[in-house]
Amino acid sequence: MQIVASMRPGDAAVHAPRGSIQIENVNKTYRENAASLVVALEGINLDLPANSFVSLLGPSGCGKSTLLKLIAGIEKPSSGVVRCTEVVDRVNTGVAYVPQGRGLFPWMTLLANVEFPLKIAGVAPAERRRRALEWIAKVNLSGFEQNFPRQLSGGMEKRGSLARALVTDKPILLMDEPFGPLDAHTRLSLQQQLTQLWEDVKNTVVFVTHDVIEAIALSDIIIVMSPRPGRIADVVKVALPRPRNVLSVPDCDGFVELHAHLQRLLFGEHAL
């Protein structure tokens, strides 16, 4: 059954296809202190189709994390409507959310971390163990099940976070700069792994990044945002073929033009 609701108190329930995300006339204002307000997002309209890989690309402070939190249901819009599937009692059960800067829970082993969302969802112990082990194997971490996060490298912990997000099998996966502070080699290898896992699962992903090449390599759609207040500067389709090898994406036809277009949107004509 598809359970759908608007994210605004008092709205009538509105249906959206499973995995799709619709954002209509959304504004988000935060109160910075008693005297001042910050307009984090203004006039956001988006219609994201199910089963697509979408990146939010833009400079620091343009509202990427805020938009992701609105989709997750963690924040409410000041005005406008966010629709996605499976909101139950105002909790959006249809999304898995990997917050910015957050890794695995440091007090739990890798296995306990990956099992955790299934435990919360009430999945029986044997079944959650089976699914957690399956995903730990898919992200190449077999043998490290009993390690605590401090006993894993940064890249291994990120792969663990990926397994913990994907094990839930949600129609929508939200990831906020999941590969942020990693070295270039580890980052490329994680991008390739995420691409391959996603091409198998094909849920809807909304992935936040500052990195133009990462956005092109991973995405079907890139939402470019501009700051103060956060607005949509452009919605760019990425027509590069799949399955993708992230290392050879820069050699694909159309890459150079797409890269230049995105750079111009982000930095203006003079940056090139």
Helix, strand, or coil here: 117? Answer: helix
| Contacted by 105, from ligand ATP, Mg ion, none: CB < 5 to 8 Å by type | none
Among 5, 62, 71, 224, binds ligand ATP (CB under 6 A): 62
Which residue of 60, 143, 150, 270 would you call a contact of ligand ATP, by CB under 6 A?
Answer: 60
Annotate each residue in 202-241 with x if it binds ligand ATP (CB under 6 A) or - if it does not, as one string.
----------------------------x-----------
Among 40, 82, 156, 212, binds ligand ATP (CB under 6 A): 40
Backbone CA torsion sign across 140, 141, 142, 143 = positive
Burial class (CB in 10 A: 0-12, 13-18, 19+), 107: exposed
Reading phi first (left if > 0) and then psi (alpha if -120 to 50, else beta), residue 142 is in: beta
Near ligand ATP by CB under 6 A: residue from 4, 14, 38, 133: 38
Phi, psi of 240 (to 5 degrees): -70, 145
Nearest to 176 by CA among 247, 97, 58: 97
Longest dimension (CA), the chain: 58
Number of Cβ atoms within 10 Å of the Cβ of 16: 22
Nearer Cβ to Mg ion (101/250): 101
Of 59-67, 107-115, 127-135, 164-172, the window that binds ligand ATP (rule: CB under 6 A) is 59-67
The only residue of 64, 131, 158, 187 in contact with ligand ATP, by rule CB under 6 A: 64
By C-beta, is 63 or 171 nearer to Mg ion?
63
For residue 30, the partner it binds in ligand ATP, Mg ion, none, with Cβ less than 5 to 8 A by kind, is ligand ATP
* 196, interface contact from Mg ion, ligand ATP, none, CB < 5-8 Å by kind: none
Residue 174 contacts ligand ATP per CB under 6 A: no
Q: Which is nearer to Mg ion, 23 or 123 (CB)?
A: 23
Of the residues 20, 55, 65, 113, which one makes contact with Mg ion according to CB under 5 A: 65
Q: What share of the chain is helix, strand, coil (3-state, %, to 5)?
A: 35, 25, 40
Which lies closer to ligand ATP via its Cβ, residue 62 or residue 174? 62
Instruction: Write out the DSSP string of 134-201.
Output: HHHHHTT-TT-TT--GGGS-HHHHHHHHHHHHHTT--SEEEEESTTTT--HHHHHHHHHHHHHHHHHH
Q: Which of the ranges 6-14, 53-61, 197-205, 236-244 carries the binding residues for ligand ATP, by CB under 6 A?
A: 53-61
* Shortest distance (Å) from residue 207 CB to ligand ATP: 13
In this structure, which amino acid lies at residue 257? Answer: E
Residues making up the chain, counted from first to last = 272
Asked if residue 65 binds ligand ATP (CB under 6 A), the reply is yes
Sort 88 into a burial class: Cβ within 10 Å, 0-12 / 13-18 / 19+.
Answer: exposed
209 binds Mg ion per the rule CB under 5 A: no
Q: Using CB under 6 A, list all residues that contact ligand ATP.
A: 30, 32, 38, 40, 58, 60-66, 100, 230
Binding interface with Mg ion (CB under 5 A): 65, 100
